[in-house]
Amino acid sequence: MKFKLLFISLLYWLSSSALAAEAVVHPSPTGSLLKMILGLMLVLGVMAGVAYLVKRMLPGVGHQQSTIHIVGSASVGTRERVVVLEVGDRWLVVGVAPGQVSAIANLEKGMTTLADKVDSLETNAQISHAETLASSFGKILKNSASKFTEKTNG
């Protein structure tokens, strides 16, 4: 009888340990998802920190040390611009269009208008072709206007 009692108690003990083994709690999907998101945020944070340090520590990366500065610009068409660049102690006026950049004027730094440059260049220069055409056109216009007034008055 003692043997039966020992055998039954042994079976009971083994069955309870087997039931306890089956009662293992499985991790929840929410916890796994939370761990994955936190890990991803940690990796992205480390990458951002390394990028920041590289930008701050390495010379010339991220910050351009240029001798050319844009002073101003104006749009003169749908795809054309006039840009004033500061290079050293000079201002360059350039026309920018798709596929080309054309120099317009080379000015001293701080010169606010092209009239200053034109006045300094025209002191010893002869009358340009454009002025000749403008004066010719003005004379023709005056002659045709005077003929028109003579016909209407006379």
SS3 content of the chain, % helix, strand, coil (to 5): 55, 20, 25
Among the listed residues 45, 49, 92, 99, the one whose alpha carbon sits nearest the alpha carbon of residue 73? 92
Number of domains in the chain: 3
Residue 15 lies in a domain: no
Residue 146 lies in a domain: yes
Residue 12 lies in a domain: no
Residue 37 lies in a domain: yes
Average confidence score pLDDT of the chain: 75
Q: In this predicted structure, what is the pLDDT of residue 44?
A: 97
Instruction: Look up the domain containing 44 and give its range.
Output: 29-59
- Summarised one tens digit per residue, pLDDT across range 114-147 is 555 555 555 444 456 666 767 777 777 777 777 7
Q: In this predicted structure, what is the pLDDT of residue 49?
A: 95
Same domain, 46 and 83: no
Q: Cα dihedral sign for 64, 67, 71, 76?
A: negative
Same domain, 47 and 76: no
- Summarised one tens digit per residue, pLDDT across range 87-114 is 888 888 889 999 898 888 887 776 655 5
